[in-house]
Amino acid sequence: MNEVVVITLLIVSLFALLGSGVWIGLTLAGVAWIGMELFSSRPAGDAMAITIWGAASSWTLTALPLFVWMGEILFRTKLSESMFRGLAPWVNALPGRLLHTNILGSTIFAAVSGSSAATCATIGKMSIPELSQRGYPAEKIVGSLGGASTLGLLIPPSIVMIVYGVAAEVSIARLFVAGMLPGLLLAALFSGHLMVWALLNPDKVPRSDTRMTLLQKLDESRHLIPVLLLIGGVIGTIYTGIATATEAAAVGVVGALILSAAQGSLNWRTFRDSLLGATRLYCMIALILAGAAFLTLAMGYIGLPRHLAEFVTGLNLSPAVLLIALALFYILLGCFLDGISMIVLTMGVILPTVTAAGIDLIWFGIYLVIVVEMAQITPPVGFNLFVLQGMTQREITWIARVCAPYFFLMVLALLLLWWFPQIALWLPSRM
């Protein structure tokens, strides 16, 4: 049967199942089953059982539930309050003042959480009431939080990076290290945007209500020590080669439990809630990954990835044009799917094309994560937009509009990453 007809049938089946409210993981498995039953001679049931078991029992994937649990533990501690107290004295002298706590707080919390939604919710609970009470414009509070919280996907440890590493069969530890400099670059671009806005609109920035000496600032900075130690424990063990990504995740969980206990917020209820929250989130992710693994196998038997790769190769697109086309494709896809689903749904088709174009898979992983970040703040299915709507009760269109400048700053980051690939590749090359 013609490949166009096969693709059309599978896409129609995919969106019909998604539109009817079927879970994404089951939708992916259902489309794969349809494809194998209609267009392949291999028994679909046998292939599904073997593939789903193999995907669910992958040792590499062990890091994922641990990092999810670590984020859930920290979500229930006093970490955000401590970070605000430690950061506020240092940003008061910058144009934009305390708005930078959204950027710095998200950057720090991203290094101990693998989720942009968790980063958005945790930092938002701290900064939105504090900054609103001090008179900062709502659009800048919400916009900077929505943009900066996407760093939870890029700055390691990152759940999306783990999913990509498993799908692309590349080193998760090298991916983690590769995300550090691009993450800091994005944070710098976000803060630079706030500084330019503040210099152009000085009347909209409240005056500083306190003046502190250097010793007082250093004294307040002690509140940052626990989170910095936790970051050092997780990232340091990976960078020095002491631990794999999975072992570092275990270090992070133990460190988060110790931090929670030291703050007095660890009790049976918070422990149970964090464990149940992590279990629910990981089960959802694991089901999606299992369905995507079966879909990838089905696509292989049908031959669609090979035909698509041959088609794209036949177009003779330069790597730059290919990356532009993929960015537009993922941004469009991000209007309907979450980041993890986007990656696992497309990797089986996209990776052969990227590999044939000679693009480094570590570099492409960072590029892809930034594009997925952009999708987090694009309606109608931008996860960070939903989180912010729940906290502010604002219209989703208003939230998307105030987050728009950060979308374009991510486009700038992609261009810088293309012009200077060593931003992503320098640290991994030194491992």
CB atoms within 10 A of CB 141: 24
Half-sphere exposure for 427 (CA within 13 Å, toward CB): 21
Q: What is the pLDDT along the chain (431 residues), one digit of tens a residue?
A: 566 677 777 778 877 887 787 777 788 788 888 888 887 777 777 788 888 787 777 776 777 788 778 777 877 777 666 767 777 777 777 888 888 888 988 887 777 666 676 677 767 777 787 788 888 898 999 999 988 888 878 887 787 888 888 888 888 889 988 998 999 999 999 999 999 999 998 888 787 656 667 677 777 778 778 877 887 887 788 777 788 777 888 888 898 888 888 888 888 888 998 889 888 877 877 787 788 778 777 877 777 656 665 666 667 778 888 888 888 888 877 766 667 777 877 777 788 888 888 889 999 999 999 998 888 787 765 667 777 877 787 887 898 899 999 999 999 999 999 999 999 999 888 86
Q: Are 101 and 91 in contact (CB under 8 A)?
A: yes
Sign of CA dihedral 373, 375, 381, 385: positive
pTM of the shown model = 0.74
Please state, in angstroms and rounded to a whole number, the distance separating the CA atoms of residues 111 and 127.
Answer: 18
Q: Are 296 and 346 in contact (CB under 8 A)?
A: no
